[in-house]
Amino acid sequence: MASDEKWKRFETRSGIPLKPVYGPLDVPEDYRDGAPGSYPFTRGIHPEMFRRRLWTMRQYSGYGTAEETNRRYRFLLDQGNTGLSVALDLPTQLGLDSDDERSTGEVGKVGVAIDTLADMETIFRGIPIDQISTSFTINSTAAILYAMYIAAGKKQGVAPELITGTIQNDILKEYVSRGTWIFPPEPSLRLIVDTIEYGMKNTPRFNTISAAGAHFRDAGATAVQEGGFTLADAIVYAERCIERGLDVDDFAPRISFYFYTHTDFFEEAAKYRAMRRLWARIMRERFGAKNPRSLLFRFGVVCGGSTLTAAEPENNIVRVAYQALSAVLGGAQTIFTCAHDEAMALPTEESALLALRTQQVLAYETGVPDVADPLGGSYFVENLTSEMEAGMEKIIEDVEARGGMVACIERGLIQRWISESAFRWQKAVDAGERPIVGVNKFAGAPARPQNLFSVDSGLADRQIDRLKKVKGERDAARAAAALARLKDAAGGDENLMEPICEAVEAYASVGEISGVLREVFGEFREPVSF
């Protein structure tokens, strides 16, 4: 026991001190104890939450070519997956075609390669787009993938107004935590507002922006920082829409959010309760939203992420299960549970199925979804929710006092704050002050052989051949005209979604469309921050 007491820190991972016990006096006097489904939505955005409808089980998947991804999606849907989440390879994320020399070694590796509309059509072959909700983890090229999904729906006879899903489309966090940017902030923000404006008129059931705190978190941010920075991003997007002349109650109902759920169980559940309350207040008090749907904080989560370990990977099954429980108690609308082997490779079909089954056991066997916000009224959880809300508010105030999120990113401030948090965390892990079972505590179990997934070494050649075939068979004059029109539009101020859609439907490639925009917009250069 003495050794345990030596390392134990009685604080959350965000550094919030923890008392040994909580009581009525620990609940703030201004505690808003509204019911689920009522403002400020601390207890959930729907009156009965999961009693009426379970969260969407949206396993993140995609690898290799469109054909291989289609097979994996059909398998997951057959096993009870209720939504799709498309993983894109790095070239697609960076606006590069598979035959670009900069794509060498990366085609189809961390997601599916999508070069043209033909790939999108193949991915959803036999999958009715009007009956499934699809999320795309894509940012710099989000407008292009969005246009492709709309076009693929049309090929199936599905009207744009019937499609449902999400494009992540959150470029600000890319400058901070992932690096898959292309254009500088201002033209990138223009593209985001273009997608939002276009979506309001043409795809009213589709979320054209998902502010993603997940990557802040996996880059080393604390849970409080994750919440504060994400809401600061969302404020920027809302402000830019209003500057465009859009009404808040027309675009706000389609804003969604995306996070990682880590392992500090109560902090993670309180994080979502705090953000839900804070977002409702921001939309009502700051932006004057009147439509109740504008106030709803709708979010999806990944359970796993950087908490997965290559050491004793079977332990990740347990980690992800607890994280999924925390996400449900926090009121998530969509959950993706990582497979236990994802710290080492893409998941095998077997491990992906077990990850899905983890959610299904939680949903159908535990009884947890039967009561809305079962943590509500806990002295500890309510206190922690308010502590985290105050911390997030302080971060937003600090960011805005320094010129706002864009200015802070351009100066490298957000990057520095996150790197400082990451350093503190890693230092604590290395010192054994933050235990990770099987890594720095109870380590040393014999390694077990793992049946890891490997991507076919010939897939890049197949993808390049497919791209050549599409380019050879398309109407070259139509594609060239569409790209020329897009270049002209990019040099002006019109909404770029229509010309992007025209280029996509002419089978212009991701690389060609991005190349035209690069010519006009230029490319972002990362600031040096110390």
d(CA 346, CA 464): 22
Per-residue model confidence (pLDDT) at position 60: 83
Same domain, 280 and 411: yes
Residue 529 has pLDDT above 70, yes or no: no
pLDDT of 30: 65
Q: Which helix (H) or strand (E) holds 86?
A: strand 83-86
Q: Identify the CA nearest to 355 among candidates 300, 299, 301, 303.
A: 303
Report residue 2's pLDDT band, with 50, 70 and 90 as the boundaries.
very low
Examine residue 145 and state whether it is found in any structural domain, yes or no. yes
Looking at the predicted structure, is the pLDDT value of residue 401 above 90?
yes
| Entry field: residues in the chain | 530
Do 418 and 511 fall into the same domain? no
Q: Which residues pair with 255 in a beta bridge?
A: 209
Out of 372, 405, 430, a domain closes at 430
Same domain, residue pair 69 and 204: yes
Same-domain check for residues 245 and 169: yes
If asked whether residues 298 and 184 sit together in one domain, one would say: yes
Same domain, 422 and 480: no
Examine residue 342 and state whether it is found in any structural domain, yes or no.
yes
**pLDDT at residue 494, as a whole number:** 95
Q: Three-class SS string for 358-409?
A: HHHHHHHHCCHHHCCCCCCCCHHHHHHHHHHHHHHHHHHHHHHHCCCHHHHH
Angstrom distance (rounded) from CA 376 to CA 43: 7
Domain boundary among 398, 430, 462: 430
**Predicted local confidence at residue 177, as pLDDT:** 83
Give me the CATH number covering residue 269.
3.20.20.240
Work out the percent of the chain whose per-residue pLDDT is above 90: 83
What pLDDT shows up at residue 119? 97
For residue 347, what pLDDT is reported? 87
Residues 487, 423 within the same domain: no
> For residue 109, is it within any domain?
yes
Which candidate, 77, 78, 28, 94, places its Cα nearest to that of 383? Answer: 28
Q: Do 226 and 267 touch, CB atoms closer than 8 A?
A: no
pLDDT digit string (tens) for 174-197? Answer: 999 888 889 999 999 999 999 999
| CB-based contact 45:38 (threshold 8 Å) | no
Residues 53 and 160 placed together within one structural domain of the fold? yes
Residue 171 DSSP class: -
Looking at the fold, whether 498 and 389 belong to one and the same domain comes out as no
Res. 4 pLDDT band, cuts 50 70 90: low
Count of helix runs (H) and strand runs (E) in the chain: 20, 9
Residue 529 within a domain? no
Q: What is the pLDDT of residue 458?
A: 86
Which tokens hold the place of 144? 């292009």
Structure confidence at residue 453 (pLDDT): 65
Report pLDDT digits (tens) over 255-309: 999 999 999 999 999 999 999 999 999 999 999 999 999 999 999 999 998 999 9
Per the domain annotation, does 207 fall within a domain?
yes
Distances (CA, A) of 15 to 46, 248, 263, 362: 31, 35, 14, 30
DSSP string computed for 441-465: BS--PPP---------TTHHHHHHH
- Residue tagged 């465009």 (tokens): 244
3-state secondary structure of 164: strand
Q: Are residues 330 and 274 in the same domain?
A: yes
β-bridge pairing 133-136 and 83-86: parallel
435-487 pLDDT per residue, tens: 999 899 898 777 776 776 666 778 899 999 999 999 999 999 999 999 999 99
Number of domain units in the chain: 2
How would DSSP label each residue in 108-138? TSSSB---SHHHHHHHTTTS-GGGSEEEE--
Looking at every residue in the chain, the average pLDDT score rounds to: 93
Give the residue-averaged pLDDT of 26-36.
77
Q: Work out the average pLDDT over 232-243.
A: 97
The domain in which residue 371 lies consists of: 47-430
The better pLDDT of the pair 152, 456 is held by 152
Query: Residue 1 — pLDDT band, cuts 50, 70, 90?
Result: very low
- How confident is the model over 485-528, as pLDDT tens digits? 999 999 999 999 999 999 999 999 999 999 999 999 999 877 66
Cβ proximity of 89 and 65 under 8 Å: no
Q: What is the pLDDT of residues 313-369, one digit of tens each?
A: 999 999 999 999 999 999 999 999 999 998 887 888 899 999 999 999 999 999 999
The helix or strand, by DSSP H or E, that contains position 231, with its residue range, turns out to be helix 223-244
Last residue of a domain, one of 396, 430, 464: 430
In a domain, 361, yes or no: yes
What's the pLDDT score for residue 454? Answer: 67
Pair 217, 326 in one domain: yes
Q: Examine the domain organization and report whether 400 and 280 are in the same domain.
A: yes
Write down the pLDDT at residue 123: 96
Query: Is position 27 within any domain?
Result: no
- Write a three-state SS string for 464-475: HHHHHHHHHHCC
Task: Specify if 236 maps to a domain.
Answer: yes
Q: Is the pLDDT of residue 530 over 60?
A: no
Strand pairing class (209-212; 206-207): unpaired
* Residue 63 pLDDT: 86
